[in-house]
Amino acid sequence: MMSASRCMVKRDGRMIEIDAKELVFGDVVLLESGQKVPADLRLFKTNGLEIDESLLTGESEAVSKNLVEPLPAETALGDRKNMAFTGSLITKGRASGLVVAAGSNTILGSIASSISTGEDSRPPLLIRMERFTKKIAIILLMVTALMALFLFYKGQGGHEVMMFSVAIAVSAIPEGLPVALTVALAIASRRMAKRNVIIRKLPAVEALGSCSFIATDKTGTLTVNQLTIKKIALPDSVELDVQSSGLSPKGKVLFSNSDELEGQKILAQDLVGAGVLCNESRLVRKDDGEWHGQGDAVDLALLVLAHKFGLDPEQHRMENRLLSQIPYEPELQYAASLHMGTDKLTLSFKGSVEKILPMCKQAASAKGTVPLFDEAIVEQADQLAESGYRVIAIATGQNANEHQSLNEQLHGLCFLGLVAMIDPLREEATGAIESCQQAGIDVAMITGDHPKTAYAIAKELKLTDSLDRVVTGPMLKAMPPSIDKEQL
């Protein structure tokens, strides 16, 4: 793998390695997994390319890139599937792209430029201090001028009048005010430090008390920035809730009390087992007790779910030796794997509902396999998606054959269920927003999510109760420069 500052470029028909700062418009750059994109590129060749654009969009999920027709200029940044942007990280695949912008002309460069050239807002304390200073200066000049005229009228000499005027001016200046303000702000900063808030500039303490509006990012601020499975939908319309969030396997799966409880547990365990086998990620616990993952966010979420079921993913994989697999690719929208267990072959599938369902002939239930009802499953998946979840389907093969390729076994599968995952809210986020609202502070959430997904999260945070209050990027650009906040 190349260093972060160097890249492979095709110039004059030759492949050369150069420093990223030497790129110019028209260079052809070759990209590979683990590399940072050195410039804004127009992609013309991709192979399973996925890019982490969280630096630009704030979204933790890698974006699949493909070759599409030229997009309109107003296309949102996160929807430009044929572009790779400076600073983003390639998580999977390879690609070739043409340099269309470099350095300060890139999207990242324009963001940096707008930040550096923007006007710094002054805290309310400094504004009030400037007003107070101007008033003191004007009053002082008026009083000094009147006293000087009065002394001249009384016949005092010019030297005496000047000395007296200077004495009055100096004595009227509140020399102790800056010291008193500094001490008060320092005490406030110390109190804030006890609440885990570090103040870099003392006037910021007073500015916090004058805050009336907060615009906050969603990913990583209101959410934990990690995909977490929150629901399991079994084929018999039973939905199981999953506790906890993040990479920590704390929490458990909540089963409903029914006569078919044991059957539900067996179905859920089969689904979880298939999710572990059809999986390329690793989840390990370090010496510090923290859990660390390597690989795709969806695969990591399935491994965390396995731990909550008491299933050790690594042990399960050792007991089921991998024979062959079809890795997940954006073009395929599914993945498959064939494993040899102690006494049988296991065929596991995962992917989008639209791809997996047509491959299935039956569905698992507490009473055995039953005919597949596509419409009910699609409706259930749509309801979960409208609630802000990312939904994948999991299935298993009924007649696995090690002498056939996996591509020949993409039919007659048994549907195991749906897994709904989301980047969950931080536990303290709802309480923090409620406290802001009680203090009279308006809160707005900024995200690159689909409007319906953003609305579902905002509704959970009690930020809004109407989809009409969701403002998209194009809508925001179309608004006049000055607009009343209440109109949003």
The secondary element (H helix, E strand) that includes residue 159 is: helix 158-172
Radius of gyration of the chain (CA): 31
Do the beta carbons of residue 247 and residue 258 sit within 8 Å?
no
The CA-based diameter of the chain, rounded to the nearest angstrom, is 120
Q: Which long-range contacts (CB under 8 A, 24 or more apart) does 241-250 make?
A: 242/305, 242/308, 243/308, 244/308, 245/424, 246/304, 246/424, 247/283, 247/291, 247/292, 247/293, 247/300, 247/304, 248/291, 248/304, 249/291, 249/304, 249/307, 249/308
Residue 245, amino acid: S
- Cα separation, 307 vs 312, whole angstroms: 6
Q: Which long-range contacts (CB under 8 A, 24 or more apart) does 467-475 make?
A: 472/76, 473/76, 474/74, 474/76
Q: Residues for the chain: how many in total? A: 488
Q: Which among 111, 76, 94, 121 has a CA at the least distance from the CA of 37? A: 94
- Cα separation, 400 vs 407, whole angstroms: 12
DSSP for 345-400?
A: EEEEEEE-HHHHGGGEEEEEETTEEEE--HHHHHHHHHHHHHTT-EEEEEEEESS-
Q: Which stretches does DSSP call E strand in 14-142?
A: 14-19, 28-31, 40-52, 63-64, 83-84, 89-101
* Category of 333 on φ-ψ map: left (φ > 0), alpha (ψ -120 to 50) or beta: left
The reply to whether 217 belongs to the active site is: yes
| Set 40, 79, 217, 442: catalytic member | 217
Q: Which residues carry out catalysis?
A: 217
